[in-house]
A and B are shown apart, each in its own frame.
Chain A
Amino acid sequence: MSFINPFIGMFWDITPIIATIFIFQLLILKQKIPNVEKVLFGLLMVWVGLTFFMLGLEKALFPLGRLMAEQLTSLEFLGKEKLFWFDYYWVYLFAACIGFATTIAEPSLLAVAMKAHQVSGGSVKPWPLRIAVALGVAIGISLGSYRIVVGVPLHYFILTGYLIVIIQTYFAPKQIIALAYDTGGVTTSTVTVPLVAALGLGLASTIEGRNPLIDGFGLIAFASLFAIMSVLAYVQLKHLINK
């Protein structure tokens, strides 16, 4: 029974998009769906795949994120009692590595990088852009972990970041702006989000004086923001060099 229930739950989660597609295609456009067997088979795969994926998240990614947070902040590992923010340097390093590694491998970022190459008429090269964004996200998640360790309110950082993005926008070449803004939403993939969220929640529950409710979230916001800032910064730098 415990194996059936998640399937039923996931069925309701994919109903709205399936209903949208079928209703609009059949009732509004009044067209048949081409290759309807293939489409139905695809939807079946989506349903089964989503269910397994969610089960896997509960079993692997969430526990792993939490475990890493617990082990990296345990007094036993750190080896002392009185801790300052810089004593958690392994946490910052781990956060940076996860940010860099997942971003550099992110397929949607590759797609964005290719588009940027096209839009800029070839002056923005895909590989340096990907490295720039991966470094940006690494710094972002690392800074986000620092915020959890010291407990500064999240919006101080994010709103400052917005201000920086606005200033960068003013100087950025016009045709790249929309693409740069999109990168923020694109870089944090389905696999990265749960792991990074679990890391944040884990840090907030193990570090003394932090509350998961207030300090636990926010790492993903850092990742999105720093992705936007690094695209704009890279393009700006490129522009200055070419001048």
Chain B
Amino acid sequence: MQGFGVALQPMNLFYALLGSVLGTAIGVLPGIGPALTIALLLPVTISVAPTSAFIMFAGVLYGAMYGGSTTSILINTPGEAGSMMTALEGNKMARNGRGAAALATAAIGSFIAGTIATILLTFAAPTIAEIAFVFKPSDYFALTVVAFTSAAVVMGSSRVRGFISLFVGLALGVVGIDKMTGAPRLVFGRPELLDGIDLTVVLVSLFAVGEILFVASRFRPGHDEIIPIKGFAFMTREDWKRSWGPWLRGTALGFPIGALPAGGSEIPTMLSYTIERKLTKYKDEFGKGAIEGVAGPEAANNAAAAGILVPLLTLGLPTSATAAVLLAAFQNYGLQPGPFLFTSNPDLIWGLIASLYVGNFMLLVLNLPLVGVWVRLLLIPRPQLYAGILIFAMIGIWGISGQVADLVIMVAIGIMGYVMRVYDFPIAPVLIGLILGPMAEVQLRTALAAGQGNPAVLIGTPLSTVLLIVAALFLLAPLLLRRLAK
């Protein structure tokens, strides 16, 4: 309770607000996520008291999540891997004139997930943190295999083209220095490729640039007057009914996986999407704008963001780029996160945790009224709207690396995105391959190396066995059911 006393001081409320606004502003730019934002704000920590600084960072962390989902839904430009799944259904909803409902379910889902996750963080953090030590490389590998099943549900109409997309993603994923041996792969002597092809560049190029090229080539002026914008309808009673299940399931997936060292937000959002698609009663709506497909991944994304704080605060274990930057911030103050911080600096820790509740609430209050304003962005005339999207895509790509090579890759992958749209190749499997391929590879090789090449290690733990069975069920169950039905 003393934590709320700290967090509700006017000065700290101001920092929470500032953080939320900055986070949202930067989250709107593709590719500029919370890790980079906090890193850029690090110099501030010299002049601000630690509690206030961390309260601001908490606002940035959650604010960036909100900003990212807004662009995914409205202009089909996910900036981070975590909001990729949101774009799939969310943008379809926006096109059907239900953008406001999509933004609302994302905002409320994020709030609920963030709040539940923060409650768990408050009361169960030390216990949850221990799972970080349980997961072995073989378990991580099995987890990526389960996540790969999400590729199957976004395959589109043709298996061959779906798999081509997936394999193109896998091929893009191996470019760069091999993590295990340091050998350069598919680099062809270009030093810019040594660090691999940046996920953001692919994400932005495929979604935004590919879309601009495609729409431009088939655009008829005057069309936009006809596009129906069915009011700025908020969520209906039915939307609520269909959203709460995905919110809770998304939270349940996101929080623990976010707390794992190699977890992150990608796997839980993909899993959440897969599960919602399998569980829904409105199967034919998926791919055309199903609200479950927005509610679940958005909740999972935010819960994962809270999840990373668990091992950081309780063990001093940074499990993601964002956590590593936060750890650096602690060290700037000469503080070492870990079990001792709870006793030596209770004001800071509980103030930070309380500010997570406050920041979350603040973002909800800020964002719900803004939903109407954001949706109005779509009223900008199409030529200027698409031009603006390209500018933001460009700034995002230029801002993360400042390398001309990335602009070249943007054009190349943008053309690929165009061709894929013309010949009906699904886009999402490319990104699934690109994100999960390298994770699966590293964990597989680590597991095998530690087990001296004995493949039995892959089912060496109960958890990995269970996960692999789950993956098999995901893929085979529909086939089996069809067989049985005949």
A-B complex is real? no
